[in-house]
């Protein structure tokens, strides 16, 4: 729960956007997270702050989704 809350605090993402975030949506090279489906239906790019980047890099990749359990199931 802490990594999710930290990402929300440092990016301003909505909870649903963060829970649907896939590793392929994160571009560490450019420093942006790409939201494919936002509340408005439009795509948007969110800059990754250093603390959020550090937290994301520390997460274990279990699935294509950033926030998933070790068995691959999703948090809701």
HEC-encoded secondary structure of 19-52 = HCCEHHHEECCCCEEEECCCCCCCCEEEECCHHH
Q: For each successive 10 residues of the chain (76 residues), what is the average pLDDT?
A: 90 91 95 88 90 92 89 80
Q: If 0-12 CB within 10 Å is exposed, 13-18 middle and 19+ buried, where does residue 31 land?
A: middle
pLDDT of residue 64: 92
pLDDT of residue 72: 79
Edge-to-edge strand order for the sheet containing 26-27? 26-27, 32-35, 44-47
pLDDT of residue 1: 80
pLDDT of residue 75: 78
Q: At 39, give phi and psi (nearest 5°).
A: -60, -35
């Amino acid at each position: 729960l802490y990594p999710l809350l930290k990402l929300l605090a440092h990016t301003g993402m909505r909870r649903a956007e963060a829970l649907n975030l896939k590793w392929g949506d994160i571009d560490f090279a450019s420093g942006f997270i790409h939201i494919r489906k936002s509340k408005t239906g439009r795509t948007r790019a969110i800059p990754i702050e250093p603390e959020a980047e550090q937290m994301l890099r520390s997460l274990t990749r279990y699935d294509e989704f950033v926030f998933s359990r070790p068995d691959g199931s999703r948090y809701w």
